[in-house]
Structure 1
Amino acid sequence: MSHPTEDELVDLAVGDGTVSPSVSASVSAHVDGCDTCAATVAELRHTAALVAAAPPSVTWQAPTDAVWGRITDHLSTEELDADGLDADGLDADELDADEPTSDDLPPAAPARREPATPHTDDELERRRAGRHERDRGGRGRRLSVGWGAGLAAASLAIGLLAGRAIWQPDTPVQPVAQVALSTLDTKQDEGKAAVVRSADGLDLTVATSKPLDAGDGYLEVWLLNSDGKRMVSVGVLAPGDKASFPISQTLIDEGYVIVDISREKFDGSPAHSGDSLLRGKLPA
C-alpha cells in the first residue's frame, strides 16, 4: 500500500493549501483507512493546536535534578542494551517470545562494538527500577522509537507554522472577498473571514468577535465546497485569536467558498466532527 507523502499529510492536518483538492480528497480517503497515517495526522493537528495556543513568549527554566536523574538513568539503560542485554537486563535467550529474532530482521552492516563494561548487581537493580518507573510494561527501545516519531511530527508541524509566521506580510492588504461568520442556530454574527491577495498568493484571514469555546478539543478552520459534498481543512485556530492561512486560487475556483469553524476532539480522526460553531459563504 502506498502512503501519502509528508507534505500531503501536513496539508491535510494543518491546511497548507499547496495540494490540490482532488489530491487532498484522495489523501483523506487513504487516512480514513490507514491507522498509521491517521495517527500521524492526529499528532500533527495536536501539535499545531498546542503551537497556536502557546503564549507569544516563553520563559525558559532549567530542568530540576529529578529530571536530569531520569535522563541519566535512560542513557544508562541504553548502555546496557549496547552490551548485549535488553532493557530489563535479560540475556538474548530470555527475551519474550514476541520479540523479533535475527531471522526476522534484514541483514545489517557489521557495527563496531566497544568492550563491555561490567555492571554490579546493585547497579543493574537500580537501573531496572528506574526504567520501571518510566515505562510500565513496555520496552525501552519502543519508548525511544515513540519519542522519535513524536518529535519528528512535532518538528514538521512547528517548522511549517514558524515558516508562516516569518513570511507573514507586514503591510495591510485589501481583501478580495469577505464575509461575516454567523452561528448556525441563532444566525448571530460573531466573526468575519476575508480572502486577501499578497505577494505570495492568497491568504484566508479569520477573526472572531469573542473567544470561541473549544471544550476539551481545539478549533479548526475549513473551506466547504458549495456542492455540499466536499471540504478541506485550512488550519487550527486558537480561541479568541485572529489567524491567517495560505490558500490557493484553485480552491476558490473549484467552489470551496464556505468558511467553517468547527470544534474538534483529539480523537485521531481527520474528518469534520460535525460540530460547527460559525459559518459564512464568501461572495463570488
Structure 2
Amino acid sequence: MEHPEDGTLALLALGEEQGVPRAQSRHVAECATCRKELEGLRRVVSAGRAGAGEPGLERPGEHVWSRISAELLGPAGSGAAGTPELPAVAPELPAEPVRAPVPQLARRSSRSWRTAWVAAAAFLLGVGATVVADQLRTPSAPEVLATAELAPLPEWSEADAGAAALHEVDGARVLNVELDPGLGEGYREVWLIDSDLERLISLGVLVGSEGVFDVPDNLDMGEFLIVDVSDEPYDGDPAHSGNSIVRGELS
C-alpha cells in the first residue's frame, strides 16, 4: 500500500483519527517511515498548542547566528582561533540558477507545507481553547436597571424589609427578590403592580429567602413599577389575597 497523503498524516497529528480511513491508519501504525514523520508532526502540534497563550517570541542573540554560520560554513570557514569567519561580501550568484531535482524539491515543499499547516492548526486550537476558558472565568455582570426597598405593610410591621432589583441578562429582564423566609402563613407570591394600584401581574412564587423571576418582554416597566409580595392561602384562587407582606417601588 502507498504511503498516505500529507493531509492524512496532518489529521492524525491533530488527533482527528475519525477522518482517516482504517486501512491508512493501519498502514501508518506498521510503516516505520510514516511513524517517524507522524511523530515529528505531533511534536509540532504539542509545541503549537503549548505556545498558543504566549505573548510573543524572544529575538535570539547574535551568538545563535554565529553558531548557525559555523555549521553552514564548515571547517573551511573557521579562523585560526576556531571562531567562524563570515564573508565580508555576499558571494555572487551564478548567472543561471542551480535547480534541484524536481522530485526532491517537491517533497521538501510538501513536507514544509504539511508542517506549517499542522503548526498553524495546533496554534489556532490552543488560542480558541484559551479564549473560551477566559470567557468562562470572567462572565459579564448583569446590568442593574432599577432597585426597590420592600417595606413591610402595617399588618406586618414587625417584619424586616426586603429588597428587589431589576436586571438585564442577555437582553432579557429579570427581577431578583429577597425577603425573610419566615414571613407568611401560606405561600408567598411576587407581583408587579401599576402606579394606580389597579392592574397587577403575577411573576411567580417566592420559595426561601431569594427568587429570580422573568419579566415579560412586552411589559411596560414605566407603568408597573411597584413590587409586591403577598401571603396567599392554599385555596386554589389565583387572585391576589389582599394580604401584602412587603411592597416597594422600583427606581
State the TM-score, normalized to the length of structure 2: 0.41
* RCO higher in structure (CA 8 A, sep ≥6): 1
Rg larger for:
2
